[in-house]
Structure 1
Amino acid sequence: MKQTEKPRSTSIARRLNRHFRLQQLGGIFASDLALAVFAVCLWCYLAEAERVAKWTLWMDRSISLGEGGTLWQMLQGATYSFTLRGAQAQAFTVDAGRFLSIFAAVMAVVFVCQIIGWLCKCASGTAEIRRYLKPIDDIAQAAERASAQQFDESKFRDLEDAIYHINAATPDAKLSIGDTELAGLEAAVNNLMKRMHESYRQQVRFVDDASHELRTPIAVIQGYTNMLDRWGKDDETVLNESIAAIKTESDHMKTLVEQLLFLARGDMGRQQFKPEQIALADMLQEIHEESEMIDHKHPYALRVDRLCAAFADPAMLKQAVRILVDNAAKYTPEGGGITLRLRTDERGYPCIDVQDAGIGVAQKDVSHMFERFYRSDAARSSQTGGSGLGLSIAKWIVDQHGGYFEVVSAEGVGTRVSIHLPQKTETQTSASVRSA
């Protein structure tokens, strides 16, 4: 078997070596030609600038080779002529033999060294490529040996029987064969089942939380509808109260459904992400002005320590900052200040801070505050108007940008949430989006 595989890989290595060496030879000729043209043009320019008061591109130029039987004699006798155009036409002739002969000698030495190096690469290239192909040859030979072996069919029957009797509904269900030869396959199946159970658990929890969040507004709407049916037809007070409550709860349901759809599209990779170069100071200025116009209960301040730009989706990043600002307003008493700040962190990367003077977050809850539907205590309930999904959406957006959050909070003092953004190029950001 090895005798058949080795000639095959050697033939491939030779073809690859021949292809690469021809490309390299073409590169040698092209680079030498470009160098020669550049050197001659530079010498001509220096010769003209030395003899003409005001150099111009518009001149008649020519190079004449000398007379002689050899190329060397022709180069030594070469002259360069150029004539100024216009009313004050002047003709100049310069001896180019010394420059051309020296340059030709240098280029000849360089070319000979290049050809010697190229020939050495041709001789050793096949063996070098064969070394790079050796892992592929080893894999192919191992596959050939594996396919030629006669496996014990009873092991396959034991594996099939063990997989058949796995209870997928049990969270700690594992595949156990007891065969060392199949230990790798057993570990792979168990890891796959573990990830599937974790994904299933997250989906069940998400559906339960979403159902719980929708159950409350539906119950409120149903209750007010029944009240309208009984007494609200003729009672204007009951009618107005019911309409206001139904409108509030329907708006809450609309917001919740939109947030659920946003996260669902994000999890499926269908959320549009269009990054571009944006000025963060301008974006924060817009958010600051909008917040002052919408919320009159809190004083807003904007600090720009340093002008920063970021390659980001402007709509999404603005949405993430708006979520932090809205969250700060919900949990800050009336009159408490909210500050937006643009700065750079210790690495010199852009950083956006949203700081409030609110109720704060307990340390045990900080690590969970970006989880979906998470609320720390009774004070942070749906009565504040939130759905428990805003910070999850903000985290998804920041993750898409390759950034991260930093949270500093003290109960009764306030909270500062910082968005750290990386300095990425357009190519790096596009690649991260594709990998996500």
Structure 2
Amino acid sequence: MKGGLGFRDLRSMNLALLELGNNPSYIWRGLLEAKQIIRQWARRSIGDGRTTTIGCDPWLVTEMDPYVTTDLHLSIREAPVSSLLREDGVSWDVACVNDVFDERDANYILNISVSICKPADSWVWFGDSKGRYTVKSCYRLITGESNDDRPWNLIGSLQGEDESTEHLFHDCLHAANLWSTINLPPLLLQQGNVIDWFFQRLRSLSGDLQCLFVMLCWGLWGSRNDSVWRGMPFDQESVLRSSVSFLHNWRAVNEQASGVVHASLESWKPPTVGRLKLNTDATISVENNAMGLGWVLRDQDGRFMAARSMRVPGRYMVVEAEVLCLREALVWLCGTGMGNVDSETDSHICFHALNSDSFTSAFGFLIDDVKHIASTIDGVSFECVRRSANRAAHAVAREAVSVSGPREWFDMPPLYLVAILNDDLMN
């Protein structure tokens, strides 16, 4: 029942606030309980890796068990995480990690981004995207309403009835055919946990495909209700059509409500006279356990100047992959000696983080990398655009997953990019 202060569980809120009262025994009980909660959700954020121990500290980025579970020799258990990095200290020694750890631990480790600025490791609060302890995030963790990047307001109906949701979204042949229709690769359901399966899907997708996946889950749920309560048979084409239509209409209404006049998709625009434009994007390949990074540089007339693609092992969070791409693009730009650049990304989260104060999560360390590199280049500015205005960089990032090493083009673009560049110029 919701009280006047809006807290459904006053005891949980009391723990979160650490309000200890006047009774000494009550104080100690409260402290002990609060200590357990802090211990459960505190994590080590890896900077230079020197003050975090491989086998003793909670440093893996996962809710379930943040400790390494591989059976390690004592010398490795007590070694610092920095010993798993390459000599330059700015990337993982992939071969070493795969040799030493089991598949579970190796995947978690390689999915942790590494800062090139080598900040000191720090303690962070797992319940907050910026790693900061807040009463709200603690309360939501205690009550099971984790303050993470999961859009609970969109999928509240997924909670509960695990067996039916497991079948509805994963085991059902209709669902499997629907995911195949939009080219989603298979993803096994671990220990019957459909919620984790859902969010693992979300983290592996980005842009329009991520939105479409959420809407199709909504469509499947609605179709199931129609079948149960109205006796209507499942119709895949109807679910797909209604979900896409709902997404399109929802976007249109929200753009109108925010005062956006949107007669057509946003197009790429050349920079002002005397400046260059750098578009960046990242894609994540679940089946290849890799990320594709891509960027394209053009001048004030829209002429192609250069492009580069990179394939990076591991699967970061989508926002981390986006800012990693931006970091690598700026490092590359710095090497060319060019400046006066408008850098565009289609990630609103990255853009807003670049204009906010520093924070000590892995994402925050990457943001600080970008700020530092940008400060060494003359005239760098950051802009956020829609995916439709970032198609060239997206195409390069998508192609990057299919090749083993980096590729680079100057003056002459790759063939797959020519049509997109011409279309950008015409628009």
TM-score normalised to structure 1 length: 0.20
Structure number with greater Rg is 1
Structure with more relative contact order (C-alpha pairs < 8 Å, separation 6 or more): 2
Greater per-residue helix proportion: 1
